[in-house]
């Protein structure tokens, strides 16, 4: 099962509402306005407005499909093994320490230290314990990390 945090679910639900209630309504208004500008088969503004509305509708459908494929996580976050919702403090081979919280593929945010469980580093961390060393393949080569601590993430 694919999990998502309650906050992530709520944020995406809000995006859907925004897209549907405001963006689609604005796109419909743009189509109506463009329709007034002459013959439709020669009206570039009309075709662009329709294409924009279709892009918004496709985005809504993508978000709805993604939410349907995820279940809100209500499980227990342990501090002995890294899993969904865990917060892992790791140190690379150069001594750089960082703390990462494992979240769904729909809600990573590197600025906040939130990485997807499906990302290279997230999937490498899953199931690991304090003291273990993992190796993560990156475009610039393999990086080793030691797991320093595991806490419950703020999800």
Q: What CATH number did the domain enclosing 20 receive?
A: 1.10.287.180
Q: Are 91 and 51 in a shared domain?
A: no
- Number of folded domains that form the chain: 2
Show the domain range for 62: 2-72
Q: Tokens at residue 22, please?
A: 């405001």
What integer pLDDT is reported at residue 67 of this predicted model?
95
Residues 91/100, Cβ–Cβ less than 8 Å = no
Return per-residue pLDDT of the chain as tens, 155 residues: 799 999 999 999 999 999 999 999 999 999 999 888 777 777 888 889 999 999 999 999 999 999 999 999 998 898 999 999 999 999 999 999 999 999 999 999 999 999 999 999 999 999 999 999 999 998 889 999 999 999 998 88
Q: Which helix (H) or strand (E) holds 15?
A: helix 6-18
Q: Are 92 and 121 in a shared domain?
A: yes
Give the number of other CB atoms < 10 A from CB of residue 49. 21
What integer pLDDT is reported at residue 145 of this predicted model?
97
What integer pLDDT is reported at residue 153 of this predicted model?
87
Q: Tokens at residue 86, please?
A: 């865990």
DSSP codes of every residue in 94-137: TS-EEEEEEE-TT--BGGGTEEETTSHHHHHHTT--TT-EEEEE
Residues 6+ apart with CB under 8 A from 142: 135, 136
pTM for the model: 0.82
Residues 52/27, Cβ–Cβ less than 8 Å = yes
Q: Are 92 and 60 in a shared domain?
A: no
What integer pLDDT is reported at residue 133 of this predicted model?
97
What integer pLDDT is reported at residue 89 of this predicted model?
98
């Amino acid at each position: 099962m694919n999990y998502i945090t309650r906050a992530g679910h709520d944020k995406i639900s809000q995006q859907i509402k925004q897209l549907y209630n405001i963006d689609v309504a604005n796109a419909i208004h743009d189509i109506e306005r463009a329709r007034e500008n002459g013959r439709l088969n020669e009206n570039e503004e009309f075709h662009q407005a329709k294409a924009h509305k279709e892009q918004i509708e496709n985005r809504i459908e993508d978000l709805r499909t993604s939410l349907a494929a995820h279940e809100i996580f209500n499980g227990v976050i342990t501090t002995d093994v890294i899993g969904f919702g865990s917060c892992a403090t790791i140190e690379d081979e150069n001594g750089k320490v960082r703390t990462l919280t494992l979240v769904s593929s729909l809600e990573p945010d590197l600025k906040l230290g939130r990485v997807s469980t499906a990302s290279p580093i997230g999937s490498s961390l899953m199931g690991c314990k304090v003291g273990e060393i993992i190796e993560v393949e990156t475009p610039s080569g393999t990086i080793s990390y030691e797991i320093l601590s595991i806490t419950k993430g703020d999800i």
